[in-house]
Structure 1
Amino acid sequence: MSKVFSAHAVSVDGYITGRDPGAGHGLGDGATLFDWYTDGDTSSRVFDMFKLSESSARVFDALAGRVGAVVAGRNTYEDSERFGGGSPHPTARLFVLSHRPAPEMTERQTLVTGIEEAIAAARKAAGDKDVGLMGGGVLTAALQAGLVDEVILHQVPILLGGGRPFFRSLPEHVHLRLVEAVPAPGVTHLHYEVQR
């Protein structure tokens, strides 16, 4: 069965956006969370526009190569300008988790209202590949439902002091086991396995 994982750039103080994210503002003033996507000299094999450090490219491409479908929250969808009618991944189908109707969904985008439904549909679409999660609310809901296998943090050495926090309230502790830590210029890649 495919795995479900979350991989996010996050500040040391736990934010995945800067202040004032939203339509027209993108991910807010925290754009420095993503500088490592373009600060290197190694081209990504999956995302044409990314030039990462050699160590970041190895980690990033290994993760991106696993993705067959993506589940994103409504805030992430709107903040990212609806991914231009496509998906945050060049080949993966997008499932948007929301209880509100979403305008102008395309054939690469599907609106779903519950996390279990979203993960089940994404797994079916992913085939033998994995499901990637985008957004703190989606990750929290999937953790609460016991559906997450791995959490990857691309931790950027900055304290943003505000923005959208990555982790939301959970009803209980979630224990993680560190699988790999890869230091790279401008980011440390922390790969955790969810302990059940």
Structure 2
Amino acid sequence: MRTLTFAMNVTLDGYIAAPGDDLGWSGGEGPDSSSSDELFQWWSDRVGATGLSLYGRKLWEAMSSHWPTADQQPGATPAEIEFAGRWRDMPKVVFSSTIDKVDWNTRLVTGDAVTEITRLKAEDGGPMDIVGATLAAAAMRAGLIDEYVLVTYPVLVGGGTPFFTALNSWVNLTLVETRTFPGGVVLTRYATRR
């Protein structure tokens, strides 16, 4: 059985995007090379170790608008080149009823996300990551997430898209890892207690 992890950059007040889907507080979409090369490498290594990544439409559109060709851009750093290749190679599933085509080692699912995620978790294979607030919220409410990884930036944005959704019952967690990156960014990783 595969493990499912929800990992995102998040503000100290709990948002993955500020109002208007503004990600400027983290340096833009995806891994943030402006906060630290060390953090960017951590995200890149995570992508390299992920067996399957599950995307909601909005984050898919943001990532797929940049990373498929980022390694071909003038001035691309070795770290960006590595990340772009890892991102393209990583198997991905996009959950959306509004788009009809995906590329770069990706499959589109238009049906019920919880049913498909449950099926994918039961398969053999490497760890899965889930990204995107709406998709992760559905998996969270269904009790499918095994780990939560918050990469917390020292900024308050006062509103926007929350990392956590409203739940019907408590979810007890165990702290598994903490790590501090340059610029005061703190990673915390929690396992769901079952």
Same-fold call, TM cutoff 0.5 = yes
- 2:8 aligned partner: 8
Corresponding residue of 2:88: 90
| Runs of 4+ off more than 3 Å | 56-62, 81-88, 121-124
Partner of 2:33: 38
CA distance in 2, matches of 1:57, 1:106: 24
SS at 1:161's partner residue?
A: coil
Tell me by how many angstroms 1:59 deviates.
Answer: 4.3
Secondary structure in 1 matching 2:162: coil
Kept in 2, the 8 Å contact 1:2–1:129? The answer is yes
What's the CA shift string for 1:15-41, capped at 9, x where partnerless?
1112212xxxxxx2x32224773147x
Q: Aligned-pair distance for 1:184?
A: 1.4
Q: Contact conserved, 1:9 with 1:154, CA < 8 A, in 2?
A: yes
C-alpha contact 1:95 1:118 (8 A) present in aligned 2? no
- Measured in 2, the distance between the counterparts of 1:173 and 1:109 equals 33
Q: Distance in 2 between matches of 1:20 and 1:122?
A: 33
- Indicate the SS of the match to 2:52: strand
- Please tell me the residue identity of whatever aligns with 1:195: R
Aligned length: 173
Question: Which amino acid in the other structure matches residue 32 of structure 2?
Answer: Y
1:52 matched to which residue of 2?
Answer: 37
Q: 1:34 to 1:13 in 2, by over 3 A?
A: same
CA apart distance, 1:107: 6.2
Take 2:117 and 2:33, find their aligned partners in 1: how far apart are those partners?
31
Query: Does structure 1 residue 169 correspond to structure 2 residue 169?
Result: no
Identity %: 26
Question: In 1, are the aligned partners of 2:9 and 2:150 still within 8 Å (CA)?
Answer: yes
Considering fraction of residues, name the structure with more helix.
2
**Alpha-carbon distance, 1:62 to partner:** 4.8
Give 1:7 deviation, angstroms: 0.9
Instruction: Give the distance between the partners of 1:85 and 1:185, measured in 2 at CA.
Output: 24
How far apart are the structure 2 equivalents of 1:167 and 1:142? 11
State the AA in 2 paired with 1:74.
R
* Distance (Å, rounded) in 1 between the aligned partners of 2:162 and 2:11: 9
Normalising to structure 2: TM-score of the pair? 0.75
- Find the residue that maps to 1:90 and give its secondary structure: helix
Deviation at 1:82, TM superposition (A): 4.3
**How large is the Cα RMSD of the aligned pairs?**
2.9
Kindly provide the amino acid, as one letter, of the partner of residue 11 in structure 1: T
| TM-score, with structure 1 as normaliser | 0.74
- Does the aligned pair in 1 maintain the 2:89–2:105 contact within 8 Å? no
Which residue number corresponds to residue 70 of structure 1?
Answer: 53
Give the letter aligned to residue 192 of structure 1: Y
Counterparts of 2:52 and 2:12, CA distance in 1:
28
For residues 58 and 147 of structure 1, the distance between their equivalents in structure 2, rounded to whole angstroms, comes to 27
Match of 1:115, as an amino acid? V
